Amino acid sequence: MRPAFSVIFLTTLIGAGQGLFLALYTGQLYAFFDLLPAQDSRSYYAAGSVLALAFLCAGLIASFFHLGHPERAWRAAAQWRASWLSREVIALPAFMGMVLLYGCAHWFCWHAPLFELPGGRAVDPTLILGALATLLGFALFGCTAMVYASLRFLQEWHTPLTVINYTLLGGASGFVLAAAFSALAAPQLSGFHAGWAMILTLLALAGRTASLLRNARLKPKSSVRTAIGIKHPRIAQIAQGAMGGSFNTREFFHGRSTAFMRAIKPAFLILAFFVPLALLAGGMTAPFLLPVAFILQYAGLLAERWFFFAEANHPQNHYYRKVS
């Protein structure tokens, strides 16, 4: 497939936004159970929510660049019963709305307890809103990933690993972002976030490696033989009826050399996983490394996402090998 930058930015930005929110909320939960010091609602949670929203908005804006008719984007919510894309289109604003509410709740200090837990802990609206947003955040990870994972023809994507990895990668980048954010806004939390970020990054590395190994061993289900329905060991395309290119040659081929493809794989692995891991570790003591870790990891994730798209072989490509 040809990676579209709009989609690369969409998925990586909202992934980071979702992860950041989850990190914030995890922090709040820990604090709720007194495992971490509580933070200021306004300067930490509200500000953090704004930051998460900023990423989500940027992602949303990026997605519009993908559309031929952005003015009709609202129509995309129509098919939630069948289409993962439609579901994503619903889940994203829903999640954003919930994060907004969550941020507002903190900003306006809606701390009036709603009820109490058996242990005597008072549950306030921020916690409820946060829980709802968390559900939506996971739903959004699921929807986004399922947009790709549900396409059974794209065998590289058609695996639970896609959902797992979208979640883990988004989570990891969000937690790294949270660590960086905390380094500024709540230095006591940065170690906590950095720690989780390392765990998530390691898990994501495992997940991504698993999918790389899986994909390297994939047996394409389709071949030029099934594509044209002729069973012969030697079939070669000669012409495709369009020499100046077509939608099919533009949309489904990344157009890069195999050398480039071979180089980008270690590049994103180093950038998205190993370098951030090192920086996160360093960040424990030198917090200024944490923003660097995020920036580099995000760059790595852009490359990872590019590769994710590029790596997928669409069966239609059997019809578009050669011109003459």
Partner 1 sequence: MSSTPLHDPLAEPVSGAKTETYTTTCYMCACRCGIRVHLRDGEVRYIDGNPAHPLNKGVICAKGSSGIMKQYSPARLAQPLLRKPGAERGAGDFEAISWEQAFALLAERLGKIRATDPKKFALFTGRDQMQALTGLFARQFGTPNYAAHGGFCSVNMAAGMIYTIGGSFWEFGGPDLERARMFIMIGTAEDHHSNPLKIAIAKFKRNGGKFISINPVRTGYSAIADEWVPIKPGTDGALLLALIHEIIAMGLYDREFLARYTNAGELVNLDAVHDEFGMFVRSEVPKEEGCFDPQNKLWWDRVSDRPVITHAEGADPYLFGEFKLADGTPVKPAFQLLQERVRDYTPDWAAEITGIPAATIHRLAYEMGVTARDQKVVLPISWTDSWGKEHDTVTGNPVAFHAMRGLAAHSNGFHTIRALAILMSLLGTIDRPGGFRHKAPFPRPIPPCAKTPDTPLAIRPNTPLDGMPLGWPAEPDDLFVHEDGSPVRIDKAFSWEHPLAVHGLMHNVITNAWRGDPYPIDTLLIFMANMAWNSTMNTVEVRKMLNDKDAQGAHKIPFLVVCDAFESEMTSFADLILPDTTYLERYDVMSMLDRPISEFDGPVDAIRVPIFPPKGECKPFQEVLVELGSRLKLPAFVKKDGTRKFRDYPDFIVNYETEPGSGIGFLSGWRGKNGEKSLSGEPNPRQLEMYAANNCIHHYELPLSYQYMRNWNKGYLEWSQRNRITRYADPIQIHLYSEVLQSFRLAAQGKGISRKPPEHLRKRVETFFDPLPFYYEPLESQATDRHKYPLAAITQRPMAMYHSWDSQNAWLRQIHAHNYLFVNPGTAKAAGIADGGWMWIESQWGKVRCMCRYSEAVEPETVWTWNAIGKSAGAWNLAPNANESQLGFLLNPVISEELPASNGGTQSNSDPITGQAAWFDVRVRIYPVKPGEPEQTSPQFEPMKPYPGTRPFLGDWLAYFAGSKK
Partner 2 sequence: MTQLALVIDLNVCVGCSACVTSCKEWNTSGAAGPLSDCNPYDANPTGTFFNRVQTFEVGEFPQTETVHFPKSCLHCEDPPCVPVCPTGASYKRKEDGIVLVDYDRCIGCKYCSWACPYGARELDEKQKVMKKCTLCVDRIYSTTLPEADRRPSCVMACPPGARLFGDIHDPDSVVSGYTLMPEWGTQPANHYLPRRKTTITIHEDQLVRADNPLKIDGKLPKPSRQQPTLDDVTSW
Residues in contact with partner 2 by the rule CB under 8 A: 1, 66-70, 72-73, 75-79, 82-86, 89, 147, 150-154, 221-222, 224, 226-230, 232, 234-242, 244-248, 251-252, 314-317, 319-320, 324
CA 215 → CA 39, 161, 162, distances in Å?
A: 44, 11, 11
Minimum distance from residue 239 beta carbon to partner 1 (Å): 9
Per CB under 8 A, contacts with partner 1 among 240-299 are 241-244
Minimum distance from residue 247 beta carbon to partner 1 (Å): 12
230 interacts with partner 1 by CB under 8 A: no
Q: Which is nearer to partner 2, 213 or 235 (CB)?
A: 235
Q: Is 27 exposed, middle or buried (0-12, 13-18, 19+ CB in 10 A)?
A: buried
Q: Which is nearer to partner 1, 122 or 228 (CB)?
A: 228
CA geometry: angle 181, 270, 55, nearest 5 deg: 35
Minimum distance from residue 305 beta carbon to partner 2 (Å): 15
- Determine which residue in the list 34, 74, 118, 236 makes contact with partner 1, applying CB under 8 A: 236
Q: Is 227 exposed, middle or buried (0-12, 13-18, 19+ CB in 10 A)?
A: middle
Q: Which residue has the tokens 């994909």?
A: 215
Minimum distance from residue 29 beta carbon to partner 1 (Å): 42
Residue 73 site contact among partner 1, partner 2, none (CB < 5 to 8 Å, cut-off depends on kind): partner 2
324 interacts with partner 1 by CB under 8 A: yes
Q: Which is nearer to partner 1, 118 or 244 (CB)?
A: 244
Residues with Cβ within 8 Å of residue 32, at least 6 apart in sequence: 121, 127
Q: What is the largest distance, in Å, between two alpha-carbon atoms of the chain? A: 77
User: Do 2 and 254 form a contact (C-beta atoms < 8 A)?
Assistant: yes
Closest CA to 25 of 118, 128, 173, 170: 128
User: Do 173 and 19 form a contact (C-beta atoms < 8 A)?
Assistant: yes
Minimum distance from residue 2 beta carbon to partner 2 (Å): 10
Residue 132 site contact among partner 2, partner 1, none (CB < 5 to 8 Å, cut-off depends on kind): none
Q: Which is nearer to partner 1, 89 or 136 (CB)?
A: 89
Minimum distance from residue 101 beta carbon to partner 2 (Å): 25
Q: Which is nearer to partner 2, 68 or 119 (CB)?
A: 68
Q: Which residue has the tokens 């980071």?
A: 16
| Cα separation, 2 vs 159, whole angstroms | 20
Q: Which is nearer to partner 2, 157 or 175 (CB)?
A: 157
Per CB under 8 A, contacts with partner 1 among 43-82 are 82
Residues with Cβ within 8 Å of residue 299, at least 6 apart in sequence: 271
- Give the binding site for partner 1 (CB under 8 A): 82, 234, 236, 238, 241-244, 322, 324
